[in-house]
Amino acid sequence: MTPIYILNMKLIIAVLCALLSFCACTEVPIIGILSQETYSVKHLFPDEDYHSFIAASYVKLLESAGARVVPIWIGQDEEYYRKVVECTNGMLFPGGATYFNQSCGYAEAGQMIYDVALERNRNGDYYPIWGICLGMELLIEVANGLGQREVREACLSKKVSLPLEFRKDIQSSRTFGSAPKEVIKILLNENVTYNYHQFCVTEKGLKEFGLEKDWVILSTNRDINGLEFISSYESKHYPFYGVQFHPEKNMFEFKDSLNIPHSKNAVVVSQYLANEFVEETRRNSHSFNDWESEQKSLIYNYPAQFTGIKNSSYEQLYMFKKSDYKIFF
């Protein structure tokens, strides 16, 4: 074989490998949603001994983009979370209300999941994490390392829908780079990103903790006191993403007093974000060891309870007792 032929073959192989790395490895991904302590919803079930919960709107958000969901239990050991990452195609850290300094809770579980995901991504795997509201705050905290002073700070933006104030480089971002012009126009000009938070992450905070070298600020907004906070970001090196607003509420939470936007355009941008994250999770081939363990792990095995009728801000909740914490992998 001539040197030119060998060179051409090497080039073809390199191109094919590059293309394969971006091909969908999983057509129907399974995504973990991290559960959290029941502090904010315990009053809805005063006679029940529930230990954790997941708002059904997060499940529906991922399902709307073609994914299935596995609930991820709090209070487990590192080996459990290592298995979780091996069996799922991505992870969602949902919003809600809990503390970051509680042992065996949401934050501690998030730290272990992040550490395993970081390790795997550094070793050539592709495992995405998406944080929404509290989950976005958690993602930055675990990147910095729990036990340190918190990166997030007090911030008040409740029942407020805002357009995004984009940074100049969003077209090169993974989060918004493939967005249709109409989606970007909506996000820039309409009040479609719903905020309901009392903490936030700021650019000053990122710099103070030396995190600006690893994270790209995609957009910012201001709270009622004029404090500028980060409303979306992504990791520079890994498929880790965060939004401070609530795309799931535009589509699946309906309490009138919350003033959530439900216009066609509000739904369009939420669906875009769901589609983008779920597409990211299709880029690995993680799976359960067998069909039975997969089926027994899916959230379909648990009932969604109608809590809107109890005047909750959530229409439906998945409530879990410790006896529900069954592990099939």
Q: Report the catalytic residues.
A: 133, 246
CB 28 within 8 A of CB 63: no
> CA–CA separation, 112 vs 154, rounded Å?
25
> CA–CA separation, 127 vs 5, rounded Å?
37
Q: How far apart are the first and last CA of the chain?
A: 50
CB 98 within 8 A of CB 128: no
> CA–CA separation, 120 vs 276, rounded Å?
21
> CA–CA separation, 4 vs 6, rounded Å?
5
Phi, psi angle pair for 304, to nearest 5° = -90, 125
> CA–CA separation, 278 vs 282, rounded Å?
7
CB 67 within 8 A of CB 30: yes
* Structural tokens at position 120: 């795997």
